[in-house]
Amino acid sequence: MQRLTNKHHLPSIESSRIAQSIGMALDRFIKNNQSQFQYASGELSQLLRDIALASKVVNREVNKAGLIDIMGAVGSQNTGGEDQQKLDVLANIRFSRALEKGGEVCALISEETESFVDLNNEGKYVIAIDPLDGSSNIDVNVSIGTIFSVYRRKSPAGTPIQPQDILQKGSEQVAAGYVLYGSSTMLVYTTGHGVNGFTYEPTLGEYFLSHPSMRIPDEGKIYSINEGSSNSFPKAVKEYIQLCKDKNYTARYIGSLVADFHRNILKGGIYVYPATAKNPNGKLRLMYECNALAFVAEQAGGAATDGSGRILDIQINDLHQRTPFYVGSKNMVEQAMRF
Ligand code: AHM
Ligand code: MG
C-alpha cells in the first residue's frame, strides 16, 4: 500500500499563530500569510481573492434560486441584463469572468466546458474548477459547493498553453479548496500550509476566519456512500460497508460531495464513491473534484485514495478523467484500503 498520510504536519507554533487570527477577514489573512507561498509575488493571493469574490456572487444567486422560476415567469433578467440561467451554468460564467478579469489565470479547466480555455494572457496559474457541484441538489435547496485546484503553469508566460500546463498531477497543486453553500456559506482552502476555513457574513459581504488550522480526526464513525448502488459495488466495498454496519457507524450521505466531505472533516468520517457497474472508473472527476479535496484532506491530516494508491499521485490523461474516491479520516481510509 502506498503512503496515504500527510507529511506536512503544521508546527504547533504556526497553528497557534493562526488560531489567534480567528475572526480575521479573509483579505487580511491572505495578505498576512502571503510570504508562505513559494512564489510570494502576490498573484496567488489575488487569485484567491478573485475566487472569493466570485463565490460571493454565486452565493447570492444560490440564495435566490427558489425565486428564479417566479422571476422567470415574469420574464425577469438579472442585473447584468442576462436572461436567468440555470445555476450551474451561471456559476461557471461568474467564476470564469472573475478569473479572466483578474489576469492571474492563463488557462481554465471546468466541469462545464469540454476543453480547457486558453485565456491568452501573461497569467502564471492554471485553475481547474467545478463551479457548482451537487447537480441533484441544485434545484432542491440542499447544500451544494464549488471546488477548485490551482497549479503553476510550466510553459513560459505569454506563449500558447501546452499539455504539460494542463495535465498536472494533484501533487503539483499550489492551492486548492472549496466553497460550501450550506446553512452558512464557507470558503475552505489550503496553500500547502494547513487548512483554514472562513465563514461568510452576508450583511458585511466578508469572509471571516472561523475554522483555523482544520484537522480531521484520525478516527471517525461516519460513512458516506450511495448505498442505493451497492448491488454493483466491488465485493471489497460491500464487505467494507458491512464492517461499518457491524461497528454501528452512522450513515450520512447528502449527495453533494463538498457537503459530505466538509461534515466528515469536522466530525471524522469517510466518503466513498467506488467503481460501479454504471461507472467502472468511479463517477467523480479527478481534475476538478477529487484532487482538490484530496489535497485539503491530506493537509488536514486525512487521506485520499482511489483504492490502490494516493489520489494526488494519479497520472492525468484526460481533463474529465474519473476515479474511484475514498477520502476522509486517516485510519478509516487505511482500514478501507485493507479490504
Ligand atoms: P455532479 O458533478 O454531476 O454534481 O456529480 C457529482 C456529485 C457529487 O457531489 C456527489 O457526491 C455525487 O455526485 C453523488 O452521486 P450519486 O447521486 O450517484 O450518489
Ligand atoms: Mg461536479
pLDDT digits (tens, 9 = 90+) for 35-49: 877 666 688 999 999
pLDDT given for residue 19 in this prediction = 76
CA distance 130 to 168: 17
Residue ranges of domains in the chain, CATH in brackets: 12-211 (3.30.540.10), 222-338 (3.40.190.80)
CA distance 328 to 300: 9
Residue 246 is inside which H or E element, if any? helix 235-246
Residues with CB under 6 A from ligand 1: 111, 133-136, 226, 255-257, 283
Nearest-atom index, ligand 1, CA of 130:
2
Tell me the CA distances in angstroms from 239 to 89, 148, 233, one per residue in order: 39, 33, 10
Query: Cell triple for residue 251?
Result: 450513515
Query: Which amino acid does the sequence have at 286?
Result: L
Query: Cell triple for residue 178?
Result: 472549496
Over 60: is that where the pLDDT of 10 sits?
no
Whole-number average pLDDT of the chain = 90
Q: pTM higher than 0.75, yes or no?
A: yes
**What are the pLDDT digits (tens) for 253-286?**
999 999 999 999 999 999 999 999 999 999 999 9
pLDDT given for residue 14 in this prediction = 74
Nearest-atom index, ligand 1, CA of 88:
4
Nearest-atom index, ligand 1, CA of 284:
6
CA dihedral 285, 288, 291, 294 (to 10 degrees): -90
**What are the pLDDT digits (tens) for 132-161?**
999 888 878 899 999 999 999 999 988 899
**What are the pLDDT digits (tens) for 212-239?**
999 999 999 999 999 999 999 999 999 9
Choose one of 178, 231, 256, 271 to mutate for the ligand 1 pocket test, by most ligand atoms within 8 angstroms of C-beta.
Answer: 256
Strand-pair category, 222-224 with 125-133: unpaired
CA distance 165 to 71: 42
